[in-house]
Amino acid sequence: MALYGAAAAVLEGLERGAGGVKALVFQSRFPHVRQLYALVSETLRYSAVLEELLAGAALLRAEKKLSPQLAKVLVYDLLFGKGLKCGGRWKALARRHRARLEAELARLKVRRKVSRNEELLAPAQAGGPGASQVPRYVRVNTLKTCVDDVIEFFKREGYCYLGKAASVEELRSLSGKKFLLDLHLPELLVFPPQTDFHDNVLYTSGHIILQDKASCLPAFLLSPAAGAHVIDACAAPGNKTSQLAAILENRGQIFAFDVDTKRLATMSTMLTRAGVTGFQLAQQDFLTVDPGDPKYSKVAYILLDPSCSGSGMVNRVPVAEAAPSAERLQALAGFQRKVLSHGLSFPALRRLVYSTCSLHREENEDVVGAVLQEWGSAFRLVDAFPGWPCRGLAAFPGAESCLRASAADTLTQGFFVAVLERRGDGAAAPRSLPAAAGDSPQHGEGTEPGAAPKKRRRKKQRKVCAALPGNCRCSKQRRSGGKQVK
């Protein structure tokens, strides 16, 4: 019931004008932010349809204690979602009225002359590139398994693997139970929009992470060397932290900061489930972290994804939110400049990746340009991912080295990424930036994308998916007669 109560509270806050969807979801302190965000977004997308169904079935007249917001959430999950997940009196209430609601839905389809639920929506709600066209991205957690094993698992589940995508258009055309390997990121699988894996054993066991492609870019481009010390400055909910750990192969040390206690507790659970070791979580504002503290004397890599307007979070958001005011943008940009400059002050820093889920130049190119100017020749902007189609706006010379992402152009959430590196001065050269998946052979053609050098390949093959007992193709499990290797 906690999920439905939290969703109803967010809807009520929206009606009162207390904030936007993203802000209210995060303020709710509900531990599973993405689950709540998805439920609220989809309920809003079907809001007009739900109001007609509630009125036709006279549900609110029959159930005086049921608020309109809670009724919408319950009826959405009952008729359009994956089915009610709650128990107790709310489930009993929904069951009492299910037949009447389903009959009302059937009558509404007849009146509208449609056969599918999606056809009940207005065109803007039914799916612009932001609402429902963005695919479901699944990052394989290489701390627990490998890409080939996950592909085989989904094939046995009835999915059809189409190989590695050659273009964004191939991702756009996915439907049914078909999936692809992403054309840019070597450990990312791509499924049709609205595919739900929250109850899948690979997700619940931490073998796969549900993470938007654009959100995978910062850690991928930071590319810390195994054994390095890394800071994740604004870490919760932890997807990027777990990705960093996978890149580090659980060697080295990750210092992760966030100011919210509950979010850190949820993050700790998530990281443990994902098999992450060698991390320290701290409930602390990154701006208060002392770069001179001996604890951080070896920190060579920093991932910085600070608070922003969230204007790029278009995936599954069915309603337009008011654009932030100029004053709000200036306040955010001031904070972002301060936190970026603070990150560059760590003495052993070699590379820092700055990212936001904002589309506004004020929070992106303007912030990076101002901080680079502040630091003079100490740091340079790296031309990251030259093959990426969307580049930074021409806010200052070299800004095209930055990356941008959007639902329309890259089939992702809106995102901005900049890679900054320290210049010479006798400092050790940072690890080279990773190549795109397109520079690696296909699966089944020798080396898998992103594979380790040959001397470490056997070790990586032993990371067997615990959800696939007896089916792993690694040589050690075959020799052990199907015994799971941990």
Which residues have a catalytic role annotated? 357
CB 365 within 8 A of CB 233: no
Q: Please state the φ and ψ torsions of residue 394, each to the nearest 5 degrees.
A: -80, 65
- The whole-angstrom separation of Cα 213 and Cα 210 is 9
Q: How many CA atoms lie within 13 A of 302 on its CB side?
A: 30
Q: What is the DSSP secondary-structure string of 28-44? A: TT-S-HHHHHHHHHHHH
Q: What is the DSSP secondary-structure string of 194-228? A: T---TTSHHHHTTSEEE--HHHHHHHHHH-PPTT-
- The whole-angstrom separation of Cα 349 and Cα 332 is 24
101, two tokens: 């609601």
- The whole-angstrom separation of Cα 410 and Cα 405 is 6
* Contacts of residue 338, Cβ cutoff 8 Å, sequence gap at least 6: 287
The helix, strand and coil proportions of the chain, stated in percent and rounded to the nearest 5, come to 45, 15, 45
* Contacts of residue 305, Cβ cutoff 8 Å, sequence gap at least 6: 218, 233, 234, 240, 354, 355, 356, 357
CB 86 within 8 A of CB 4: yes
Q: CA–CA distance from 84 to each of 59, 81, 87, 155 (Å)?
A: 17, 8, 8, 28
Q: What is the DSSP secondary-structure string of 9-27? A: HHHHHHHHT---HHHHHHH
